[in-house]
Amino acid sequence: MASEVIEMNCPNCGVSIKVPVEEFIDVKENEEHKQRFIDGDFFLHTCGECGAGFILEYPVMYMDPDRKLNIYMVPDHEDDILEQLNSLELPENATDPDACFRLTSNCMDLMEKIHIFEHGRDDRVMELYKFIIWDQVKEEWPDLEQGDLMYVYDEGTDYFVILPSENEKDEKLMIPIEKDLYKDLFDNYMHALEIPPGHYAEVNQDWIASRFERGE
């Protein structure tokens, strides 16, 4: 059931419409919503007047109790939001030390996080992986910007796609993820990627860059 209704003008026809939204999603209770996140269409809405589809991003708390995963997606959030989220001191026994708390700023990053954890990967290692291959990838695609590499899992294989994921020849631009390299990064760098239990973190390229300097 929707927890709120947002009134807005349709970006296509301009008519005032009401869009039902859900801000707290427990995917254990709603598998259909989980699949919509995975497919990338949770934030896709349709205007009841003109039938046009559009993306509407709004703050959402994604919770997956089975994976002990909590992702808070807040578009265009304030710089101090992590400080706010982590300011509340909880009793030591109130938070599972294995629970994961993440912050993202858009629906694409949220979808990527879900894909990563759904397939047994760690988002910190994935961001480190992107970080160390960046210079090589940038040589091949000079116009690439940070954020244009996105994790995808498809038919037993995981890789990064380069957004937009197809070029003028309709060829998907992708970089296979080497299992041995991922394992080496996991085994050798997780100590440097630790996050205090119960704390939210916005794990992205800026977060990685704050812990490593390129070229080291």
**pLDDT tens per residue, range 3-36:** 689 999 999 999 999 999 999 999 999 888 999 9
> CA-CA distance, 174 to 157, in Å (whole number)?
12
Running DSSP on this structure, what letter comes out for residue 177? P
Q: pLDDT tens for residues 119-155?
A: 999 999 999 999 999 888 888 878 777 778 899 988 8
Start-to-end CA span in the chain (Å)? 50
Instruction: Compute the radius of gyration of the chain from its Cα atoms.
Output: 19
Nearest CA to 118 out of 175, 174, 205, 35 is that of 35
Nearest CA to 56 out of 102, 105, 19, 30 is that of 19
Tokens representing residue 189 in the block: 């760098």
Cα 214-72-202 angle, rounded to 5 deg: 15
Q: Is the Cα dihedral 5, 30, 24, 195 positive or negative?
A: negative
pLDDT of 216 reads 44
Q: Look over the chain and give the mean of its residue pLDDT values, rounded to a whole number.
A: 88
Cα 37-125-33 angle, rounded to 5 deg: 10
